[in-house]
Amino acid sequence: MRCVCLALLALCFAATAFAADDMPRSLDPKIRIDLFAEQPLIATPTGLDVDSHGRVWAIECNTHFRPENYPGHPSDRILVFSTDETGKAKPPTVFADGFTATMSVAVRPVWMKPIRLKGVDQGDAAALAKTTQVYVATRNQVLLLEDTNADDVSDRRTVLFELDTKGNYPHNGFAGFAFDAVGYMFVGMGENLGEPYKVRDRSGAVVYEHDEGGHVYRFRPDGTEFRFWANGCWNPHASCFDAFGRMFSVDNDPDSRPPCRLLHIIEGGDYGYHFKNGRKGLHPFTSWNGELPGTLPMVAGTGEAPSGVIAYEHDALPENYRGHLFATSWGDHRIDVFRLKPKGLSFESVAEPVIVGGESFRPVGLALAPDGSMYCTDWVLREYKLHGKGRIWRISAVDGERRRPDFSAIQKEERPGILKQSLESPVGAVRRLAARRLGELNGLQNVAVLRDADASERAKYEALAAIVVGEKADEPRQLRDLFGPKPAPFDSTFTLMAHFDNAPSVQRMQALLKDPAGADPMYVLGGVKAFIPLLRSAAGTAPKKIVELINSAVDGMDAFGLCALARDCATEMPADKLVQLVSSDASLSSRVRLVALLALKRIDPANESAIEAGLKRHDLIVRRAAVQWAGEQRMKSLRPVVEKCLTQSPMDRDLFLSTIAALEMIDGKDPKDFDKTPAGKYVAPLLKDEKASPAVLVEALRLVDPDDEVLSIELLDQLIRHADPSVRREAIRTLAFRTGADALSPLMAMAAMQSGYPQNALLGVIRHFVANPRNQEIKDFLLSSTTAPEMAVTAFRGGLGHDDVVVARLDELFKTAGTFVPGFQGPPDVDALGQQWWLIFGAGRAFPMNNFRQPPERPVAIDWRGAGQRNLTEIELRGDFVFFNPKGPGCSNCHTVHGRGGKVGPDLSRIGATFTREKLIGSILEPSKEVSPQFTNWQMVHVDGRVFTGMIVHENEGKTILGDSEGKTIELKTAEIEERRPVQTSVMPEKLVDRMTVQEWRDLLAFLQSLK
């Protein structure tokens, strides 16, 4: 016995020493993090919650990849921790055990009435009020546990829902509870490894079924009214609601499509990931940031493996955290805050690390305590297998006192005035409890709060939510005058009024879509159904004015608006009317037809006639969505119609890829193999097909690797001689990106011509020169160019290839002066020549032109913003040359246009359709001002102390690949990354304009604007 005690003592000592060596720290000096509990009190914890008394409820997971002969407890347990006088955990009580693959726990919130289960003897109201009720999510079950005699041990457990599936991976089933303000609960479900499943309720009845997971569901706390809410997630592991009723989830894991995501969850939302299209997320039918029609973008990229999220509604931490979200990152061993900023009809944010730790800080669950502190579980080690270690940490204010609200006093309060004061509390649970108590006393008191001009939006939201759940007839009648005709802004209380059928008019929605004016995004999203009558009319012989109105409204919606409208069309419009919208000859916009097609897909995924109607449209986004639908449904009968899309115009890269992918699916190929197959395999037959349309040939050329063996010089030569100019140009462009020596001679021959896209060929010659600057043949060619000398000499920028002969020849060329003036007429542009000279030689060599005034030395104070606004050239080819020139600003090092370029930054093939000239200028001059969450710049700390910075281009199979500002990549072993931190600056370098002349700047802007 003594040996056992000594061994236990040694284990405790080792654990404590280990924690001290690897202590996580706060980056905010006003916040601290303290150890609350660790092994042997708890091992390998997952989810947790904190009840109204401040007790911590944590899951000890003992079944997650359990090693053979593991000495720990045989099943998962729910442990309850109280706090001693030093702030540390007392030995826990085992509330319940016997579970497997347990992920989440949630104690019934203090403001929620006790849950009465139909058919279960739970005693009278007094007995039920004293019952502790706790929700638990295991991989396959959602349970309600009850302690009826206040001994902190569960006496009764009820399985509310159970998964009927072959899927058995421990953490891709049920997880992540959230409670809204109007009587519903939510839970997420992981991708289930793509296995079909059924959700059964207490009676065994199937309440939902699908062929894959990645969903969010809503239900009543008693287990009734279960329904689908959103899909397209990988693993929505945790969710929360903010103070204004907006739902957010953290979605892990992106496999090969980093980063993990913070999502704004709306009813009917599709977030783009579907396991059946391949686990890696690289398939053309997979969207990770709203890239596909009908899918929704993320709010922000998170750290690796986010597992917990809360909305912070308290004043214990500094004021600047109130109302924002905190999320854990198991893989990056840190806790971040996300400050939400409105963006369209949703939000955007950037991860800001608050708590960071070493390799052995692995935060999982996160919960807000009544006193405003936060608790998080810590898995400790990177290993998925059980290892016996575990911790719980407490995060609190450095100078704050432990103040827990007296919820019991609020529940007994009889004075409305005191309750109204509590409605202005910074503590979210206090506000909600006060509003519910106020409603119990006299619901009209909550109406009075809504009438109070001095009441905060938070207070009004809780007052109205209490009315919604109160189910009293008098109160809604009192609200009509409050929410009638009224000027903007329309806050979250207007959103709640939808429960009383109070919806915005078409006129109000038109105005809000043009300018939200501070309106709650959820109000606008809920109001899009105002356009349903117009859509019904447009499906028939609607007047031109109606068509123009609906076109204007839908074209003004972002992805969230389109999704909400498609959702409402699916419930409010019959399928035949929607098919008419898709196929109508009326002047409906592509986006209107897309909404109708997406609604039809929701109504009946097997609707063949609807798919065929979409395939027959010439609208690119409509046809693309229809092609995807046909492929995912494996519609063999529609294969000829899908294949015909390859011969029709218009055509773009996305439709081309989607059509090929759909044909592969229809033919029974496994989607996960699509990204493994070289594009040449798909496009070679098309490139050799004399009957292929020019549009198809162009996209095939853009898709294939220029060095692919299927693309011989002979085949390229045939395409360069094609009758269609777009095919000729794309073939030359493809040849320009070919690295083999066999490309150089034909490129120089074409670059010397006065017609036939010599600039594209010249670009290829320069690329070869950059790869081999000692090649004398290329030097001589570039220095003697007469077709585009001002372009040819850019090859020598930065001293590349300089020797005495080159320098002398460049001196001679610049002395000639007029050679460099476009059009070869008029006096030379001395400033432009000076900019070119400076880019070639820098400040170390005197400018040779002495027959005209000397240009100012670079760098000069050029007004790049003003220069970009004036006199944009219409010569698109010159901008194309600037973009792809390896001796220019380097755009193509990171960005792709029409299949060519780097993969570090976003694809710019359609940038002109979404960016105005002003926005283009701003994004280049100030690249860090607005960064999409998918392109967050990261700083990686290696275990050996080295620091790498860049954007995560790929992360899978133990590898993390970063891309830097020059488009170069570096591969790291993921296991050797000790810490990763988001960087506020963009990976796109500052002062790109210093790498080009003013004229090139204008040419580049013209080119980018042309990309639509």
Distance CA 605, CA 438 (A): 47
Task: Please say if the pLDDT value at position 23 is more than 70.
Answer: yes
User: Is domain 25-397 given the CATH code 2.120.10.30 in the classification?
Assistant: yes
* Separation of first and last alpha carbons in the chain: 78
Distance CA 133, CA 156 (A): 10
**CA 682 to chain centroid:** 30
Q: Tell me: the pLDDT tens digits for 509-542?
A: 999 999 888 899 999 999 999 999 999 999 888 8
- What is the average per-residue pLDDT within 844-865? 64
Q: Tell me: the pLDDT tens digits for 226-261?
A: 999 999 999 999 999 999 999 999 998 766 677 899
pLDDT value at residue 16: 43
Q: Tell me: the pLDDT tens digits for 701-752?
A: 998 899 988 899 999 999 999 999 999 999 999 999 999 999 999 999 999 9
Q: Tell me: the pLDDT tens digits for 369-394?
A: 999 999 999 999 988 899 999 999 99
Q: Tell me: the pLDDT tens digits for 446-471?
A: 999 999 999 999 999 999 999 999 87
pLDDT category of residue 5 using cuts at 50, 70 and 90? very low
DSSP string, 283-313: STT--SSS-STT----SEEE-SS---EEE--
CATH class, domain 501-693, is mainly alpha
Beta bridge partners of 311: 325
> Is residue 34 classed exposed, middle or buried when 0-12, 13-18 and 19+ CB atoms within 10 A define those classes?
middle
- Of 23-32, 671-680, 849-858, where does the model show the most confidence? 23-32
Distance CA 355, CA 853 (A): 60
Q: In the chain, where does the domain assigned CATH 1.25.10 lie?
A: 501-693
pLDDT value at residue 278: 82
- What is the average per-residue pLDDT within 819-832? 54
Measuring CA to CA, which residue among 64, 91, 62 is closest to residue 79? 91
Distance CA 218, CA 459 (A): 25
pLDDT category of residue 824 using cuts at 50, 70 and 90? very low
In this structure, are residues 264 and 230 in contact, taking their beta carbons and an 8 Å threshold?
Answer: no
pLDDT value at residue 659: 93
Distance CA 103, CA 711 (A): 52
* Element containing residue 364 per DSSP (H, E): strand 363-368
pLDDT value at residue 817: 55
Phi-psi region of 856 (alpha: psi -120 to 50; beta: other; left: phi over 0): beta
Q: In the chain, where does the domain assigned CATH 2.120.10.30 lie?
A: 25-397
Task: Please say if the pLDDT value at position 843 is more than 80.
Answer: no
Other beta carbons less than 10 A from residue 705's beta carbon: 15
pLDDT value at residue 655: 92
pLDDT value at residue 472: 67
pLDDT category of residue 409 using cuts at 50, 70 and 90? very high
Strand runs labelled E in 182-331:
185-189, 197-200, 206-210, 215-219, 227-231, 236-241, 247-251, 260-265, 269-270, 300-302, 309-311, 325-329
Q: What is the pTM of this model?
A: 0.87
pLDDT category of residue 877 using cuts at 50, 70 and 90? low
pLDDT value at residue 954: 72
Beta bridge partners of 363: 378
Measuring CA to CA, which residue among 548, 552, 505, 546 is closest to residue 524? 505
Task: Please say if the pLDDT value at position 10 is more than 60.
Answer: no
